[in-house]
Amino acid sequence: MKGINIPVINLEDLIVLKCASGRYQDIADVEALLAGSFPIDRDYIIKQLDALQVTLATDIQKIILQ
């Protein structure tokens, strides 16, 4: 269908938002997303979390930095 725009979020920004929320389900989602086969720019995620001043639990930091 021409003329229809569907806004989407990129995977890295979705992970950033889920990390920022800090809810258990969102953290589980982050783990699942990072375990998938999609290429993920982990440096971008870390930079965005730093810019937003989001403090992550150590176990989540390890998952992102793997």
Q: Per-residue pLDDT for 1 more than 70?
A: no
**Any idea where the domains of the chain sit in the sequence?**
11-65
Of 3-7, 29-33, 53-57, the poorest mean pLDDT is in 53-57
Per residue in 21-45, pLDDT (tens digit) is 888 899 899 989 988 888 999 999 9
Record the tokens describing residue 26, joined without a space: 């969102």
Residue 26 host element (H or E): helix 24-35
> Given the structure tokens 């725009």, which residue do they identify?
5
- pLDDT, mean over the chain: 89
